[in-house]
């Protein structure tokens, strides 16, 4: 897919993971031309076409699919050298972002979308794919991008748009604390001290406030029942 404003291809909108796998495969050998006979048995027609478009946009291959020296250096690079090459590729390829009036480190997701829309007349779903690739490349290039963009992108990938309902966790009281309900009865002829000792553990100041409250509430219930009896 070409840019309707000119002959320059669109920014990459293939999966960034696919792009990395493609580069990994080139470590074995780089052909003299990256044509369909080379990648056709590895990638589908649409994916292969998107990969070639990405290589041309990033200056890694020419219009005929001939690999450029920059691609060879990127494939062979490791560590910091690879990061520096990716940074150069990113800054050169996405000048419409880095040379705009919007600060890449503080712009919003909507502003970034506008930059892609204003430079390339494409549908919204394609712009979102372009942005995902851009963010993956910028991260590997160690280029800081606005958290308002990166957080928005992560939310979009991890959710379906519905609000996640968190399950309310109710702290449990100590398992050895007996809290009688209204159906429990104290034997009529029981000695109150014996009943209380049999029904309750020794009060422990180390308990949580919630357990202490439950202990006193249960104690009060039994007192009332004993007094009524």
pLDDT tens per residue across span 126-156? 999 999 999 999 999 999 999 999 988 765 5
- Which residue ranges in the chain fall short of pLDDT 50? 1-7, 157-165, 170, 173-187
Distance CA 41, CA 37 (A): 8
Question: Looking at residue 161, what is its pLDDT?
Answer: 41
**Hey, what long-range contacts does 57-63 have (CB within 8 A, 24 or more apart)?**
57/8, 57/9, 57/10, 57/11, 57/12, 57/93, 58/12, 58/89, 58/93, 59/89, 59/92, 59/93, 60/89, 61/34
Query: Which are the contacts of 26, defined by CB distance < 8 A and separation ≥ 6?
Result: 71, 75
- The pTM assigned to this predicted structure is 0.65
Question: Looking at residue 155, what is its pLDDT?
Answer: 55
Question: Looking at residue 211, what is its pLDDT?
Answer: 72
Question: Looking at residue 199, what is its pLDDT?
Answer: 57
Count the residues in the chain. 229
Number of C-beta neighbours around residue 55 at 10 A: 24
């Amino acid at each position: 897919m070409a840019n309707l404003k000119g002959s320059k291809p669109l920014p990459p909108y293939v999966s960034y993971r696919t792009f990395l796998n493609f580069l990994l495969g080139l470590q074995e050998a780089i052909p003299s031309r990256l044509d369909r006979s080379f990648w056709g048995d590895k990638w589908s027609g649409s994916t292969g076409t998107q990969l070639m478009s990405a290589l041309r946009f990033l200056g890694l291959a020419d219009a005929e699919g001939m690999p450029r020296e920059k691609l060879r250096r990127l494939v062979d690079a490791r560590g910091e050298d690879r990061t520096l090459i990716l940074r150069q590729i990113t800054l050169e390829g996405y000048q419409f972002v880095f040379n705009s009036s919007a600060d890449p480190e503080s712009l919003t997701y909507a502003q970034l979308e506008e930059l892609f829309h204003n430079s390339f007349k494409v549908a919204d779903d394609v712009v979102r794919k372009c942005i995902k690739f851009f963010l993956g490349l910028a991260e590997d290039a160690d280029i800081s991008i606005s958290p308002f963009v990166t957080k928005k992108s992560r939310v979009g990938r991890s959710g379906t748009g519905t609000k996640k309902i968190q399950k309310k966790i109710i702290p449990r009281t100590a398992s050895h604390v007996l809290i009688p309900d209204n159906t429990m009865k104290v034997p009529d002829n029981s000695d109150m001290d014996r009943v209380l000792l049999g029904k309750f553990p020794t009060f422990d100041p180390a308990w949580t406030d919630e357990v202490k409250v439950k202990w006193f509430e249960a104690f009060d219930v039994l007192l009332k029942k004993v007094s009524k009896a």
